[in-house]
Structure 1
C-alpha cells in the first residue's frame, strides 16, 4: 500500500504528499509523526522542520529556494512562502573526477534493430523527407502522403516502417549562427539511423542551400541521402516520387538483427512535470541511464535551462577537466542568453508545473537531472551535433519540448524517453516513449502514455525497472509507441536570430 507522504532524502526539510492530505491528518515519516496544518494537494510539499524567513528549503538533498516567511512543521510549502535563490552566472569549482568510462560491462539483454553501414543502429526502418525551407514543407508532406499510399503493402507487411515528412517554417531569411543552427539540425536528422533513406527537398533560392546542407551531413551517412531542388525540376512531385520509390525498394531489403543494449542511443526529456516527476518517472530514467551507460550505450541529457540550480551535481560527474569546462561554459552561456535579453535566469517553472506542486526552478532542476542517474558525463555536444562517445552526453538545447526533443533526435537518439506528470499527445521523429509520473494521468490518457512509472511506489523500484526495460526493448524492436500509433510525429527548430 502506498504511503501518505515521502521524504526523498534524509537531509530534506520538506516531504511530498503522495495523496491529498487534509488539515489535521497525522503523517509518519522516518519514525517521526507530525500533524498536517493545512490542506496539501497531491504532489505538493509540506514542512518537516521549522524555517525562518531566509532559511534554505531542502528537497532531494539540495536547496530548492529560500523561505519568504516563517514556516512551521506541517505547513504547506509552495509559491506563497518559498522563492528561488537563483541569480546569474556562477564560477563552478571542479570536484574530484570519476574515472573515464572503460570497457562496457557485459549486459545480457538484447533488442532487434537495423545496423546501418555507418555502424549506428536504428530502431526503425523509415524513409524521411526533409524540406530545406518552409516554402516546400507542404510539398514534402504531399510527397510522403502519396508515397505511403503507393507502398501501403510493404508498410503493412513490416518491410518498411513508414514514409514521413517533417515540415518546418525555417530555412530562409536567416543569418549567421541562426542559419547555421537550422542547417546543423537538419543535417543531424538526415544522418539518423532510423532513416534507411532521406530525401532533402529544396526550393532553390533559399538561404539554406542544398549544397551547403549536404556538406553538413556526416560523410559516413551521405550514401543514404538524396536531394531535389524544386525550381530546377520539371514535375517536382513526380521526380521526388521516383526517388522515394527507389529508396523504398532498397530499404525493404533491410532486416532486423539481434543487437546489444549498448547499441542504443536514448534521449532523456521531461515535459509538463509535477510533484511526482522527481519521485517516480525521472529516477526510473536515471536507473536505466546508468545501466545503458555501463553497457556502452549513450543517454543524452539536454534542456540546459532546466538544470539551473542542480548543475554542480552533474558537473561533478565529468570524466575530465575538458568535459567539466565545456559543461560549465554551456550552463553559463545559457544564463547569459537570458540575461542579455533582460530576463531572469529563473523564469520557470511553467503554470502547469506550479499547479502540479513544483515551486522553483531549483526544485524542477533537482528532479530533472535525475533522468541521468549517476552515469559519468563523458561528452558535451553542440546543437545539431552527433553523440558518439559512450556514457552520458550533455546536449546544447533549450527546455521547450518540441525543440529539445528534435535536437535529441538529431543528436542520434533512436528512442526519446519523455517523462510527464501533465501529459501531451505530441511525439517526435524518433519513437517517443511517454512515461507518466502519476497513476491518474496513466489511467486517464492511455492513448498518450506508454508506461506508468508510479508503479514504483507500490511495486518497488526493482520490479518497475525490469518492466520498463522490457517495454523499452520491445519498442526498440518495433512495437509502436502511443504517439506513433496516433500519427503524432513532428519537429521544431530552435530559432535564435533575427528574421530578415
Structure 2
C-alpha cells in the first residue's frame, strides 16, 4: 500500500504546495518527480515554496494570486505571514467575462422526505419557533418555549413535531433607520422559514421594533402560521403565549413527511474556523454538491461577502445575466465601502484561527471559500433579510461572522446550513447545521461537533466522498439529527450596523 503524499499542489500553476501532514525541518519531500528539502518545520495545512520568489513577486495557489512575497523565498521555505502579504486594496471596477466556467447541469434523482408547506416550499423540520421582537422579552421567549416543550414531550418524542425553540437576541430597540430595518427584516425572514410550522412573534410593546411593522414584511401566504403577542398589553403573557403555542402544536402535529425531489431543497453554504485543508477538501465537496443541487433545480445560497474579496471575479463571471452581474458587483463594492468608511482595510481577515491553520491572506481564504459554490451559475443577488428565489445559486448580503451569516441564511429560506470547518465549532443555528470537517484529526477529536469528514476525498477519491455526502444530507434532510441539534446548540445573531440610542 502506498503512503499518503506529504504535499499537494492544488493547481499546475501554483508556486506553493500544501503540507498534508506535519513536515519536519530538514525533511526531503517528493512532489511528482521533484524533491524539496523543508528548511524549517511546516505544520499541516501550511504552505511550502516550490519556486524562488523575490520580494514583490506574486505567490500563487489555486492557480490564482494569493498575495505578494515580502522577503526572498527559496524552494523549501515555509510560506506564511513572515514572508507573504495581501495585495488587496479598495473598490474595483468589474468587467463582465463571457468565459465564465459554469458547470453543466447535472440532474439528480435523489429524493428526501420532508414537509411540503402550503406556499409550495419544503421543510426539513416541523417545529414551532418563538421570535422575540426585542431583547427585553428574550428570556420570556425562552421560558415560553421551554415550558411548551415540557407540555408536549410525548409529541416531540414520537416525532409528531420536531421541537419548540425560542431564538433570543439583544436587539429591537435603541435602533434607527437601516439598522432597525435590518433587524426587522431578518426576524420577518425567520418567521417565513418553512421549518417553522408555527411562529409566535413575542413583543414587549414599547420597543422600536413594533410588531405591526414587522408583520408588514411577512408575505400574506405565510401570515396564517404566525401569531403575535404584546406582553405589555396581555394580562398573563405566559398563559396567553402557552395557549397560542398549544394551538400551533395541535395543527403542526398533523403534518406528514412526503417524498420530495432534490430540487425542493434550499441549502445555505457556510465556512467557519477554516484551515489550509478547507479549500482542498470540505469547500470543494460543498461546491460539487452545490453544482448538483443547482443542476437539479434546487437552491444553494452563498454569503459571507468579505470572504469573497480577492476571488470575486470568478464568481461574477458566472452571472446568469447582466442584471445579476451588476447587482453582485455592486454588493461586493458596497461591502468594501462599508469597511473603508470605518477606516479599516478590506483585507482585515483572516482570523487568528485561520492563520494558525495555514491560511495567510484574505485572497487565499477567499479563493478557498468561494469553492463552496462550485461552478454553479449565479442566478440571483439578495439583500440581508430577503428570501432567496427558488432555483439556482443565490448570493446573499451578510458578513463573514458565523452566527450572523448563518442566521441570515435561515432568514433567506435555507432549511439546512452546510458548515465547513477546519478548526471546529460546536454552535448550530435555527435550521439543521451540518458540520463538515476539512481534516481527519478534527473529525476524530470532535465527533460530538462533526457530521461528516470531507478529508475522505483525499483517501478514497471525490466520487466516493460525494456519494457518501449526498446520502448523509438526504438522511439529515429527512429527519436525522445533526450533532448541533443533538446537543441543543441553536442560536441566532443579528447584524448590528448603526448607532445605539
1:258 to partner: Cα distance: 0.1
1:169 matched to 2:173? The reply is no
Equivalents in 2 of 1:350, 1:101: separation in Å?
31
Aligned residue for 2:391, secondary structure, equals coil
> Which residue does the alignment assign to 1:75?
77
Gaps of 5+ in 2: none
- 1:413-469 CA-to-partner distances (Å, cap 9, x unmatched) read 111000001111100001000000011111110000000111111111110111000
Does structure 2 conserve the Cα–Cα contact (< 8 Å) formed by 1:100 and 1:319? no
Is 1:15 aligned to residue 13 of structure 2? no
User: 2:48 matched to 1:46?
Assistant: yes
SS at match of 1:273: coil
Deviation for aligned residue 1:30: 3.3
Question: Which residue pairs with 1:140 in the alignment?
Answer: 141
- How far does residue 97 in structure 1 lie from its aligned partner after superposition? 6.4
Residue 428 of structure 1 corresponds to: 429
CA 45–101 in structure 1, closer or farther in 2 if over 3 Å, else same: closer
Query: 5 Å matches for 1:308-323?
Result: 308-323=309-324
Question: Residue 335 of structure 1: SS of its match in structure 2?
Answer: helix
Distance 1:466 1:24 in 2: 40
1:155 CA drift (Å): 0.2
Partner in structure 2 of residue 232 of structure 1 = 233
Taking the aligned partners of 1:261 and 1:96, their CA distance within structure 2 comes to 29
Distance (Å, rounded) in 1 between the aligned partners of 2:62 and 2:231: 54
Say whether the 8 Å CA contact 2:102–2:318 is kept in structure 1.
Answer: no
**Counterpart for residue 272 of structure 1:** 273
Q: Is the 8 A contact 2:301 2:409 kept in 1?
A: yes
Tell me which residue corresponds to 2:476: 475
Following superposition, the deviation at residue 116 of structure 1 comes to 0.2
Which residue of the partner structure matches residue 287 of structure 1?
288
CA contact (8 A) 2:114 2:259 kept: yes
User: Residues 97 and 320 of structure 1 are in contact (CA less than 8 Å); yes or no, is this contact kept in structure 2?
Assistant: no
Where does 1:327-366 land on structure 2 (aligned, <5 Å)? 327-366=328-367
Residues 38-437 of structure 1: matches in 2 within 5 Å? 38-96=40-98, 106-437=107-438
Q: Distance in 1 between matches of 2:101 and 2:470?
A: 27
Counterpart Cα distance in 1 of 2:239 and 2:101: 56
The residue matched to 1:158 in structure 2 has which SS? coil
The 4+ residue runs of structure 1 with deviation greater than 3 A are: 97-102
Query: Which residue is equivalent to 2:494?
Result: 493
2-side partners of 1:389 and 1:120: how far apart?
9
Kindly indicate whether the alpha-carbon contact (under 8 Å) linking 1:57 and 1:64 is maintained by their aligned counterparts in 2: yes
Report if the CA contact (8 A) 1:109-1:260 is conserved. Answer: yes
TM-superposition CA deviations, 1:341-376 (whole Å, max 9, x none): 111110100001000000000000000000000000
Deviations 1:10-55 (A, max 9, x none): 1100000001111222222233222222211110001011101000
Per-residue deviation, 1:386: 0.5
- Aligned partner of 2:29 in structure 1 is 27
Match of 1:6 in 2: 8
Tell me how far apart the structure 1 counterparts of residues 101 and 78 of structure 2 sit (CA, whole Å): 42
Deviations 1:206-237 (A, max 9, x none): 11111111111122211111101111111000
- For residues 476 and 26 of structure 1, the distance between their equivalents in structure 2, rounded to whole angstroms, comes to 46
Q: CA deviation at 1:390?
A: 1.1
C-alpha contact (below 8 Å) 2:114/2:123 kept by paired residues:
yes
Cα distance in structure 2, aligned partners of 1:215 and 1:101: 39
Counting matched residue pairs gives 499
| Deviating more after overlay: 215-224 vs 325-334 | 215-224
Contact 2:417 2:432 in 1 (8 A): yes
Gaps in structure 1 of 5+ consecutive residues = none
1:36-89 deviations in whole A, cap 9, x for unaligned? 222111100010111010000000011000000110011000000000000100
**Any idea what the Cα deviations from partners look like across 1:257-280, whole Å, max 9, x if unmatched?**
000011100000000000100001
> Residues 378 and 97 (structure 1 numbering): CA distance in 2 closer, same or farther, change over 3 Å?
farther
Q: TM-score, normalised by structure 1?
A: 0.98
